[in-house]
Amino acid sequence: MAGCLWPCVTGGATTADGGLFRSKARGPAELVRHARDLLAFVAENHEACGGKREHKMADLTKSIREMKSILYGNGEAEPVDEACSQLTKEFFQENTSTLHLLIVCLPYMDLETQKDVTQVTANLLRQKVDYRMVASDYLEENQDLLDVLMSGYDNMDIAIHYSSILRDCIRHQVAARYVLESQHMKKFFHYIQYPDFNIASDAFKTFKELLTRHRSTAAEFFSKNYDWVRFFIGDHQRIESEYNNLRSTILCSTLGL
């Protein structure tokens, strides 16, 4: 489409005689609003069956992929700063729930769409609008999002995706401070003992990020919880050592060594 500054987003409509024509391309802000409406529908009807829900989910998958294309480029065109800024501004618009809905609806998406969501949120959480990290303001006003993400470790199907988004959130000091001061911190002791080593290691990766990303916030946490943190780290190292020994034993047995 001539003159388009970003990957164009178009919707289709059907004429009375069954023909198709292209509607006006959605700009970045309109695309976010459209996705928000779809997410609201999915959140309210996630247990429903039928063609309408399937159509909405397909449309949502397409919208998320189009947001990814705007933020990362599409192989033919590089991202455009103005388009990224518009998308980010609408995504973190005050008194909206786009990120919350995206997180809540993540379990109902297919694996590829879940991966797209983690990439989209990772990019948006790093974007600046008018030289400001608007995501920080949003997270400060919507700290319940962090509770939802932390609870993801209790669901092995989405734990890796939720923890990835959580680590991107705690790049912002306001989010890291909230998690460090919350009741969630001591739950990490249980998470690193999960039978699934990938999830256990991922939980420790998040824990380490919390203690190293923001020095002043981490120092305050250390001063209040030093003995517990030292015990936690030592226990993780013990579990990791036991896992590596077990893996080596299984490998040797398989190879007949």
Which distant-in-sequence residues (6+ apart) come within 8 Å of 51 by Cβ? none
pLDDT surpasses 70 at 57: yes
pLDDT at residue 166, rounded to an integer = 96
Res. 218: pLDDT tops 50? yes
pLDDT tens-digit map of 143-182: 999 999 999 988 888 999 999 999 999 999 999 999 998 8
**Assigned CATH topology for domain 1-142:** Leucine-rich Repeat Variant (1.25.10)
Give me the chain's average pLDDT, please. 82
The pLDDT of residue 251: 46
At residue 17 the predicted structure's pLDDT band, cuts being 50, 70 and 90, is: very low
Secondary structure (H, E, C), 202-215? HHHHHHHHHHHCCH
Supply the pLDDT for residue 246. Answer: 44
What whole-number distance in Å separates Cα of residue 190 and Cα of residue 77?
Answer: 45
> Averaged over 1-26, what is the pLDDT?
47
What are 224-245's pLDDT values in tens digits?
A: 877 766 666 665 555 555 545 5
Q: pLDDT tens for residues 108-134?
A: 999 999 999 999 999 999 999 998 999
Q: What is the pLDDT of residue 60?
A: 96
Find all residues with CB under 8 Å of 210, minimum gap 6, and list them: 170, 176, 179, 180, 185, 218, 221
139 pLDDT higher than 80: yes
144-151 helix and 159-169 helix, angle to the nearest 10 degrees: 150
Name the residue ranges covered by the structural domains of the chain: 1-142
pLDDT, one tens digit per residue, over 96-107 is 889 999 999 999
CA-CA-CA-CA torsion sign (121, 123, 128, 133): positive
pLDDT of 256 reads 52
Amino acid 227: pLDDT: 72
What's the confidence (pLDDT) of residue 5?
43
Residues 243-254 have a mean pLDDT of 48
Judged against a pLDDT cut of 90, whether residue 184 lies above it is answered with: no
| Closest alpha carbon to 210 in 181, 240, 238 | 181
